[in-house]
Amino acid sequence: MAVVYDFNTVNLSSSTIKCGNLLLPTTDGSSGDLITTDGLGNLTLTVPPFVVGPVSATTNDLCLFNNNSGKEITSSTATCTPLGDLTVSSLINGALTYPNTDSTAGYLLSTDGSGVISFIAPSSDVDIQTNQAFSEVISVYSTNVSSGDHIKFNVDGFTNGSLITVDLTTTYTNTANVASLGRISLVTGHSYLLEGSLDLISIKDHVATFTVQWYNSDDNVALGNPFVYLADGEDHPKICNVNLKAYYNNTSGSTKRVELRITNNPSSNLRSITRASTNIKTIT
């Protein structure tokens, strides 16, 4: 090994330099590189094991030590936005593991007693908040009052919860299994009390008769019992008392629509509807 001494500047030049038991690097690295040891007395220049961050604030991976004696950092599957919104694939809070996917509307969180939280369907002995929707007809209409048509509820009086939705905007149709003005959507997994009334109507004459009944609009299936209106000999228009109820348990696995249908209107006995209302409630 050639050793050159520069006695003027007190510099030592050599192809290899060993300080004690440490063999020093003989070539330079890149700016910012670190000198590391292999544990066997050899020192080398290495690139720092850091995760390169973005130039500006953005959603990015959270970084963790990679279990290599705490010396290296690696990206994780968790991300965080500059506002602090954290997204993770699973959540464990202490001894509790929470679900990471949503479930059916109205389902409840329950524990299995072993630290796992999951969604379950509410049972009959669980006290849940009643969902309710009250809607009305408050202005006279004389179209779509034939046999097979349904009452066109078009005013939202009161709504509580997300299990019951009255369609107040879709164009009217009496075609089954499609959206329509006046139809009510009921989320699956619950039972409902359907109440409806005709309060002010115009009839053909003092002997007019017609029939109304609750129906599953999607499956075209009758619900409950029909109400047959029999005129009492008075002239029209008529302040009447047509009230009917039905029970519907939606176990279909999907949201279903129901309607208050005019099932029979012979000779156009029912001429127009001025006031009507419906009140739908969850039972379970």
Length of the chain: 284
Q: Please report the pLDDT score of residue 227 as a whole number.
A: 93
Q: Cβ neighbours of residue 31 under 8 Å, at least 6 residues apart? A: none
The model's pLDDT over 247-264, given as tens digits with 9 standing for 90+, comes to 999 999 999 999 999 999
Mean confidence (pLDDT) of the chain: 84
**pLDDT-derived band of residue 281, with 50, 70 and 90 as boundaries?**
very high
Tell me the β-bridge partners of 198: 242, 276
Q: Report pLDDT digits (tens) over 37-51.
A: 888 888 788 877 665
**What pTM did the predictor assign?**
0.57
Asked if 282 and 184 count as a contact pair (C-beta separation under 8 A), the reply is no
pLDDT digits (tens, 9 = 90+) for 197-234: 999 988 888 888 999 999 999 999 999 999 999 877 66
Answer yes or no: is pLDDT of 7 > 80: no
Q: Phi, psi (5° rounding) for residue 261?
A: -100, 140
Residue ranges covered by each domain of the chain: 55-91, 93-122, 132-283
The pLDDT score that the predictor gives to residue 64 is 67
Q: What is the 3-state secondary structure (H, E, C) of 93-161?
A: ECCEEECCCCCCCCCEEEECCCCEEEEECCCCCCCCCCCEEEEEECCCECCCCCCCCECCCCEEEEEEC
pLDDT at res. 129: 62
**Which of the four CATH numbers 3.40.50.920, 3.40.50.300, 2.60.120.40, 2.102.10.10 does domain 132-283 have?**
2.60.120.40
pLDDT tens track for 68-99: 655 566 677 778 887 778 787 887 888 888 88
